[in-house]
Structure 1
């Protein structure tokens, strides 16, 4: 059984900031985790959370032991 790693972080992206992804200006999201680490991941990983006001909230990313992406969920 492999160990999973979890990184928690907050996002506060406006709709226009996220729109840059579709215009080809941005492909990744960069943020800081709750414990201060820099986190960079493909913007498409949070696309399902996009609303008219953008993407806001507290999220948890699940990674494999080898730091491969598994999932992202929005925390309550």
Structure 2
């Protein structure tokens, strides 16, 4: 996968969700995006609208989705959250 994500923006979105979100079973949700971290904090996950994005150590990432338009709308929402 080509490196198309700005990890700094993803981390800003994660922090905003954690600061302003509502608790869920796994993490926090804000504006339709759920933020989760694993027990040691090295991996974070953002998910919503049929898309799951995981960011790991050294800014490695994996994104899973079924349709490209879902991915695009998810990334737009994350970009708005990062501002």
TM-score range, shorter chain: under 0.3
More strand by share: 1
- Return the TM-score normalized by structure 2: 0.25
- Return the TM-score normalized by structure 1: 0.26
| Bigger RCO (CA 8 Å, 6+ sep) | 1
Larger Cα-atom Rg: 1
